[in-house]
Structure 1
Amino acid sequence: MFAKAFRVRSNTAIKGSDRRKLRADVTAAFPTLGTDQVSELVPAKEELNVVKLYAHKGDAVTVYMSGGNPILFELEKNLYPTVYTLWSYPDLLPAFITWPLVLEKLVGGADLMLPGVVVPPTGLPQVQKGDLCAIALVGNRAPVAVGVAAMSTAQMLASGLKGKGFTVLHSFQDHLWKSGDKSSPPAIAPLAVDPTDSSEEKVDVGLHGNLRSLTLEREEQSEKGPHPEASEDTSPGALSQDSLDGKPLQEQMDELLQQCFLHALKSRIKKADLPLLTSTLLGSHMFSCCPEGQQLDMKKSSYKKLSKFLQHMQREQIVQVKELSKGVESIVAVDWRHPRITSFVIPEPSLTAQTLQEGSREQPYHPPDIKPLYCVPASMTQLFLGSGHKKGSTLEGSEVRRIVTDYAKRNNLVDADNRNLVKLDPILCDCILEKNEQHVVMTLPWDCLLTRCLKNLQPAYQVTFPGQEPILKKGKLCPVDITLAQKTYNKKVTVVRNLEIYGLDPYSVAAILQQRCQASTVVSPAPGAKDSLQVQVQGNQIHHLGQLLLEEYRLPGKYIQGLEKAPKPGKK
């Protein structure tokens, strides 16, 4: 992530309330740290800075600096320690060992492949897929990299130590490390490695034979798709290893499928919605009822197809399904008094559209109050000086009308014969007339005078979020811009820009859309817009976006552009 230079967006001292919040976040993210250690890592009085930056691939990262060194970084609401912090707390994360020659590949932006992992006599640490891990070198326990496990320890061993083991986020000698004092890892007593261990001998042979087989997927390769050996093992053995409370993955998926189905019937679907296409039931309702952190996958259930699942629900007399048109099934009736529905308890909400995460806390989203304003340019200062307004002053439309009306009356510019007309003096001529009109137009009606005056003022706007100070910005207010783009092989993607203006976090919106649309999402810098991100979703998802922005975020439609490009009802 930090293999190449990043772009710093801002660097500010942390506020007292944010410092306390950070300390609470660290305690929650790393429960093995004691209170004294947390206070030492996030000191109460020493200088602590917050640096917001964009990595070279466009990821928005928040870095916390203390004592001139980066100590923590936050990505997509997750908190990670840097190598500087791990040198002080080497046992903070489960540590895996690799060879010194592999380090240069990690620094270059590659991920750590399992053939490069050394298995100590005590065995590999027990981790689950997605767990945060440290990577150390043979001969020194001081971590040199921070990564996320691409598979569980059981899967690593079952694969014969093949495939991608860890997605590396940060390493010693990368650009994040270079933003600190550039110190080297301390010498910490190493984890013992048995030189006769067969796994080490295997790695050693591979190291001398072909270093590339030991290491690491380049970032360019990872963009093309997951490593074939790193993909999830869906064999029966692998499923049983990943089972929860002794339940196979297929049984878990069946339970999740029924939970989402009952949740949708109880809370989202009404009698007026019937008949309802079965595809709409799944895409618009069941997917959005899926709990945070889980993904509904019909193919991993025992039913394999939605039609078979609904046939089973029909046999239980919960719903009635009919083919109203050739090849298209619909739900035509629901028994809302069925015991399965009446006894179902809706789970507590997690990641929904009404909730945007801020750090590790969640705050309900409320649309901002937006007020259009006008800014006085240099060419119109003479008109507004008498009312105490200088160049750059911002005014509401009603204030502009009052000032212009007072100016005309105070200078006796109202036509005595026709009070609907205003005579133009030299100041009004300079402010509102074009050059070719200067000696031609002598009077203007009130409405035309005011319209021209507003048109020649510079646009501005004020955004006020609940509980926050108003934010004043000059220029035109950009709406949330939704467009369709054509990609290779005639595939369409939906692109959304300008979410930040309305207090919407692009990463949270992308996560909701990914779950709701069951389509991949990408957050990247918006072309031609400084410090702005765009969300890209596979396919034409404007219908889902419209529901999200209008119905759930309750953003006024006048601030959204592009909803007319949604697919027509009944068409794919």
Structure 2
Amino acid sequence: MFAKAFRVKSNTAIKGSDRRKLRADVTAAFPALGTDQISELIPGKEELNVVKLYVHKGDSVTVYTSGGNPILFELEKNLYPTDLMLPGVVVPPTGLPQVQQGDLCAIALVGNRAPVAIGVAAMSTAQMLASGLKGKGVSVLHTYQDHLWRSGDKSSPPAIAPLDPTDSCEEKVHLGLQGNLKSLTLDGEEENGQVPLREASEDTSSRAPSQDSLDGKPLQEQMDDLLLRCFLHALKSRVKKADLPLLTSTLLGSHMFSCCPEGQQLDIKKSSYKKLSKFLQHMQQEQIVQVKELSKGVESIVAVDWRHPRITSFVIPEPSLTSQTVQEVSREQPYLPPDIKSLYCVPANMTQLFLESGHKKGSTLEGSEVRKIITDYAKRNRLVDADNRNLVKLDPILCDCILEKNEQHLVTKLPWDCLLTRCLKNMQPAYQVTFPGQEPILKKGKLCPIDITLALKTYNKKVTVVRNLETYGLDPCSVAAILQQRCQASTIVSPAPGAKDSLQVQVQGNQIHHLGQLLLEEYRLPGKYIQGLEKAPKPGKK
């Protein structure tokens, strides 16, 4: 379902009453979960958002995120967990667990109970056994490394040891299937979202040991060390002064999780602090950071002492060869502005003028090429006025190309600059966009700049609207996520009115100043391709 990019319609913070209703819905949907597990999945005070989106097949999906990470999604009034860290149940030697067609299932690798995909059983246990474990077993909804996973902190599943064969498998909603990680994540979509029951198994016995056995320390002490390490690593290498104030949930979800060493999983609830807020209070007492509640119930880091000995003495670990390889493959490439050329297409009524130079109808030329062709044509056909070499005599072909009907018998000569200007004006506009390392993309029509406008919504509130980002290789959803963090304001991605297959980003308030910094300084787009920057609020005004 999320194997291809999806389109975000809206992203808003969930209300207290809706949070309670969601907790009740999860309790009803998953009765096997205890109160503590429900509270862990849906925290009482931490940031919780509801995201409305459309997947590539057109289905409308509601996703619930905590700290920027997807935890649940709702499809056709059914809730599905997206947290791939929840332990699944592998097939025990005693046989498959009893499932019915349509039951929610988790798919895990042999030797590791951490699910790598979730889906709905395509057949019952009896049908699976009757088929000899052949055919389609699970209709996959969400997998490790799909686009929904990429919208979070992109953490890897932990290594969770298999259950003792003598243990009972009481969770009906989990089904462990033998499967290759890559085929389950990437190839499932090629078979209409179905995963075959039989796949080549992967030996995970050589995976990293579980955290409760690392260094011989108690689990809580290990997690305290890991929490501090990820915190210092994030402050030293990822968080910049321009990012402040920074939501504490964003610090955790977008920075600290990604600083976790390979093979380990950061879980604050297993630390002595239990909550991120308590850990940050301790860091504030050490005068490393300053935390404030800028809005009710939402804490942000407003200051960082980068000269603090804790930060200056922290040594950023060198990535292993394995992690370097993974990062080179999976890391999103930094945005580089495209090379853009304005071009001109030869229209049907000007074909005769360009025929001698070898260009046919529809041929695309740069402005300098058009000028050279026109100049050569005039000289070759001895059209340069002998008495005034700044004038060009118009032959029948030039008359048909550049003159209006009422000028045909009145205008016989034109200055060079006027002749060239008229030729370019009568040609069809086009442009070529070339992104680094990619083939050029040729498009006919006028190049539209990134358009930034201000609009008034209900209660006379201003919103900033940005259009035409796709032309310049910018993902509207990614830009919206960055603006949401930078501006500390809600963002909405929606279809752009009157533009087919184009999206617009709407940000609460006048955020043109932040947009200008993002587009001009970070993305390094030339200012001539951006219109509306002059509407930024003047210094000293809100």
Asked if structure 2 preserves the Cα contact closer than 8 Å seen for 1:495 and 1:534, the reply is: no
Q: 1:246 aligns with which of 220, 224, 233?
A: 220
- 1:409-433: per-residue Cα shift (whole Å, max 9, x none)? 2233222332222222222222112
- 1:133-170: per-residue Cα shift (whole Å, max 9, x none)? 233356555844434599x99xxxxxxx9xx99xxxxx
**SS where residue 392 of structure 1 aligns?**
coil
Deviation at 1:555, TM superposition (A): 2.1
Q: Which residue of structure 1 aligns with residue 372 of structure 2?
A: 402
In 1, distance between residues paired with 2:224 and 2:514? 29
Q: Which residue of structure 2 aligns with residue 146 of structure 1?
A: 140
In 1, distance between residues paired with 2:437 and 2:401? 39
Change (3 A) 1:290 1:178: closer
Asked if structure 1 preserves the Cα contact closer than 8 Å seen for 2:232 and 2:314, the reply is: no
Q: 1:455 aligns with which of 425, 435, 453?
A: 425
Q: Which residue of structure 2 aligns with residue 302 of structure 1?
A: 277
Q: 1:411 aligns with which of 363, 373, 381?
A: 381
In 1, distance between residues paired with 2:119 and 2:251? 40
In 2, distance between residues paired with 1:455 and 1:304? 65
Deviation at 1:395, TM superposition (A): 1.1
Q: Which residue of structure 2 aligns with residue 215 of structure 1?
A: none
Q: Does 1:534 pair with 2:508?
A: no
- 1:187-237: per-residue Cα shift (whole Å, max 9, x none)? 9xxxxxxxxxxxxxxxxxxxxxxxxxxxxxxxxxxxxxxxxxxxxxxxxxx
Deviation at 1:449, TM superposition (A): 1.2
Q: How does 1:188-337 map onto structure 2 within 5 Å?
A: 246=220, 268-269=240-241, 279=245, 292=258, 301-302=276-277, 312=285, 336=307
Aligned residues: 377
Q: 2:358 aligns with which of 380, 384, 388?
A: 388
Instruction: Tell me the amino acid that sits aligned with residue 246 of structure 1.
Output: Q
Q: Does 1:434 pair with 2:404?
A: yes
Asked if structure 2 preserves the Cα contact closer than 8 Å seen for 1:498 and 1:534, the reply is: yes
Instruction: Tell me the amino acid that sits aligned with residue 140 of structure 2.
Output: V
Change (3 A) 1:484 1:438: same
In 1, distance between residues paired with 2:401 and 2:371? 14
In 2, distance between residues paired with 1:458 and 1:54? 34
Change (3 A) 1:491 1:293: farther
**SS where residue 302 of structure 1 aligns?**
helix
Q: How does 1:51-70 map onto structure 2 within 5 Å?
A: 54-57=56-59
Q: Which residue of structure 2 aligns with residue 133 of structure 1?
A: 118
Change (3 A) 1:135 1:359: farther
In 1, distance between residues paired with 2:142 and 2:279? 31
Asked if structure 1 preserves the Cα contact closer than 8 Å seen for 2:432 and 2:443, the reply is: yes
- 1:82-133: per-residue Cα shift (whole Å, max 9, x none)? xxxxxxx999xxx997655x67xxxxxxxx7xxxx99xxxxxx9977x9632
**SS where residue 118 of structure 2 aligns?**
strand
Asked if structure 2 preserves the Cα contact closer than 8 Å seen for 1:506 and 1:533, the reply is: no
Asked if structure 1 preserves the Cα contact closer than 8 Å seen for 2:463 and 2:506, the reply is: yes
In 2, distance between residues paired with 1:518 and 1:56? 30
- 1:348-389: per-residue Cα shift (whole Å, max 9, x none)? 89xxxxxxx998354343222212111110111121122222
Asked if structure 2 preserves the Cα contact closer than 8 Å seen for 1:284 and 1:516, the reply is: no
Deviation at 1:457, TM superposition (A): 0.8
Asked if structure 1 preserves the Cα contact closer than 8 Å seen for 2:346 and 2:428, the reply is: yes
Q: How does 1:155-194 map onto structure 2 within 5 Å?
A: none
Q: 2:339 aligns with which of 369, 376, 399?
A: 369
Q: Which residue of structure 1 aligns with residue 442 of structure 2?
A: 472
**SS where residue 333 of structure 2 aligns?**
strand
TM-score norm. by structure 1 comes to: 0.49
Q: How does 1:336-375 map onto structure 2 within 5 Å?
A: 336=307, 338-345=308-315, 360=330, 362-375=332-345
In 1, distance between residues paired with 2:116 and 2:530? 39
In 2, distance between residues paired with 1:559 and 1:469? 21
Instruction: Tell me the amino acid that sits aligned with residue 373 of structure 2.
Output: I
Change (3 A) 1:179 1:342: closer
Q: Which residue of structure 2 aligns with residue 547 of structure 1?
A: 517
- 1:294-314: per-residue Cα shift (whole Å, max 9, x none)? 99x9xx643799xx8997566
Change (3 A) 1:380 1:519: same
Unmatched runs of 5 consecutive residues or more in structure 2: 7-54, 62-81, 85-89, 144-148, 150-157, 161-170, 175-187, 199-217, 261-265, 269-274, 293-300, 320-326
Asked if structure 2 preserves the Cα contact closer than 8 Å seen for 1:480 and 1:497, the reply is: yes
Asked if structure 2 preserves the Cα contact closer than 8 Å seen for 1:542 and 1:565, the reply is: yes
In 1, distance between residues paired with 2:318 and 2:502? 31
**SS where residue 472 of structure 1 aligns?**
strand
Q: Which residue of structure 1 aligns with residue 534 of structure 2?
A: 564
Change (3 A) 1:259 1:184: closer
In 1, distance between residues paired with 2:455 and 2:259? 29
Instruction: Tell me the amino acid that sits aligned with residue 133 of structure 1.
Output: I
Q: How does 1:490-505 map onto structure 2 within 5 Å?
A: 493-505=463-475
In 1, distance between residues paired with 2:488 and 2:126? 45
Asked if structure 1 preserves the Cα contact closer than 8 Å seen for 2:235 and 2:311, the reply is: no
Deviation at 1:454, TM superposition (A): 0.7
Instruction: Tell me the amino acid that sits aligned with residue 54 of structure 1.
Output: H
Deviation at 1:179, TM superposition (A): 9.9
Instruction: Tell me the amino acid that sits aligned with residue 419 of structure 2.
Output: L
> Cα RMSD (Å) of the superposition?
6.0
**SS where residue 367 of structure 1 aligns?**
coil
Asked if structure 2 preserves the Cα contact closer than 8 Å seen for 1:133 and 1:146, the reply is: yes
Instruction: Tell me the amino acid that sits aligned with residue 385 of structure 2.
Output: D
In 2, distance between residues paired with 1:334 and 1:303? 19
**SS where residue 220 of structure 2 aligns?**
coil
Asked if structure 1 preserves the Cα contact closer than 8 Å seen for 2:476 and 2:505, the reply is: no
**SS where residue 246 of structure 1 aligns?**
helix
In 2, distance between residues paired with 1:184 and 1:290? 33
Asked if structure 2 preserves the Cα contact closer than 8 Å seen for 1:135 and 1:147, the reply is: yes
Change (3 A) 1:252 1:420: same
Deviation at 1:556, TM superposition (A): 1.9
In 1, distance between residues paired with 2:116 and 2:360? 58
Q: Which residue of structure 1 aligns with residue 349 of structure 2?
A: 379
**SS where residue 431 of structure 1 aligns?**
helix
Deviation at 1:440, TM superposition (A): 2.7
Asked if structure 2 preserves the Cα contact closer than 8 Å seen for 1:287 and 1:517, the reply is: no
In 2, distance between residues paired with 1:462 and 1:559? 14
Instruction: Tell me the amino acid that sits aligned with residue 452 of structure 1.
Output: R
**SS where residue 521 of structure 2 aligns?**
helix
In 2, distance between residues paired with 1:179 and 1:56? 17
In 1, distance between residues paired with 2:394 and 2:250? 60
**SS where residue 447 of structure 2 aligns?**
coil
**SS where residue 134 of structure 1 aligns?**
strand
Asked if structure 2 preserves the Cα contact closer than 8 Å seen for 1:283 and 1:517, the reply is: no
Instruction: Tell me the amino acid that sits aligned with residue 57 of structure 2.
Output: A
**SS where residue 444 of structure 1 aligns?**
strand
Deviation at 1:484, TM superposition (A): 4.3
- 1:63-90: per-residue Cα shift (whole Å, max 9, x none)? xxxxxxxxxxxxxxx9x9xxxxxxxx99
- 1:438-494: per-residue Cα shift (whole Å, max 9, x none)? 233332221111111111111112222233332222212222333445555655554
In 2, distance between residues paired with 1:402 and 1:416? 20
Q: Does 1:423 pair with 2:393?
A: yes
Percent identity reads 59
Change (3 A) 1:463 1:516: same
In 2, distance between residues paired with 1:182 and 1:534? 27
Asked if structure 1 preserves the Cα contact closer than 8 Å seen for 2:431 and 2:445, the reply is: yes
